[in-house]
Amino acid sequence: GQNIDQPTEMTATEGAIVQINCTYQTSGFNGLFWYQQHAGEAPTFLSYNVLDGLEEKGRFSSFLSRSKGYSYLLLKELQMKDSASYLCAVRDSNYQLIWGAGTKLIIKP
């Protein structure tokens, strides 16, 4: 079966750095996405990785290792507004997005 695993919840301090991990087992791979979702709102796109390595976009970076079926989202200089759920999604061989359950990130002052 297809499976995306990420931690259920994480807590971090304002101004710090946090890394959210995602491991996946899917039928085929056509890219990995990270989305941010605030409570009661739709997901918003953060990053996309299809080749191994690190993609940096401002305070957010995303890393992919296809051989390990592993990705992480790195958030630097955390702000209170970063409190949200972070969803990892993998596009499989049928170009369908397979979603993780999301990681709820709690930022404390």
Partner 1 sequence: GAVVSQHPSRVICKSGTSVKIECRSLDFQATTMFWYRQFPKKSLMLMATSNEGSKATYEQGVEKDKFLINHASLTLSTLTVTSAHPEDNSFYICSARKTSGDYNEQFFGPGTRLTVL
Residue numbers of the site for partner 1 (CB under 8 A)? 31, 33, 40-45, 48, 50, 87, 95-97, 99-102
Query: What's the min distance (Å) between Cβ of 78 and partner 1?
Result: 22
Query: What's the min distance (Å) between Cβ of 84 and partner 1?
Result: 13
Residue number with CB closer to partner 1 (12 or 98): 98
Q: Are 45 and 35 in contact (CB under 8 A)?
A: yes
Burial of 29 (0-12, 13-18, 19+ CB in 10 A): middle
**H or E stretch at 21:** strand 18-25
Residue number with CB closer to partner 1 (31 or 76): 31
Query: What's the min distance (Å) between Cβ of 5 and partner 1?
Result: 12
Q: Could you write out the DSSP letters of every residue in 42-58? A: --EEEEEE-SSEEEEET
Residue number with CB closer to partner 1 (69 or 100): 100
Residue number with CB closer to partner 1 (66 or 76): 66
